[in-house]
Amino acid sequence: MSDNSTENARVVYVFSHSGGNWFQQTYVKAFNPEGWDLFGASVSVNNDGNILAVGAFGEDSHATGITHGADATGADNSASGAGAVYLY
């Protein structure tokens, strides 16, 4: 069963480490959050920590290629479980 509300949408929390302590810096969420997209099911950071990749293997958009925030068609759910990667 598909839940297209934002009730079950996920976020990814970003922390930094300094002096033996961890500090929450911010959090990120998909520009088109929907329940069961499974945003944050996988994450990766590049070596210098400047790029965060967040997977959402339940994203249902049929979009291909690279889209940019508001330019993307987040309301299109015609490709069930197609998945997506968000870069920050």
Domains of the chain, residue spans: 32-87
The token pair that represents 16 in the structure block: 């930094």
What pLDDT shows up at residue 5?
A: 62
Asked if 39 and 54 count as a contact pair (C-beta separation under 8 A), the reply is yes
What pLDDT shows up at residue 1?
A: 40
- Find where tokens 């998909």 sit: 30
The amino acid that residue 14 corresponds to is: V
pLDDT at 71 over 60: no
| Residue 39 burial by Cβ neighbours in a 10 Å radius (0-12, 13-18, 19+) | buried
What pLDDT shows up at residue 42?
A: 96
How far is residue 61's CA from residue 78's CA, in Å, rounded to a whole number?
A: 6
Give CA 48 to chain center in angstroms.
Answer: 20
pLDDT at 65 over 80: no
pLDDT tens digits, 3-60: 556 677 899 999 999 999 999 999 999 888 887 899 999 999 999 989 999 999 999 8
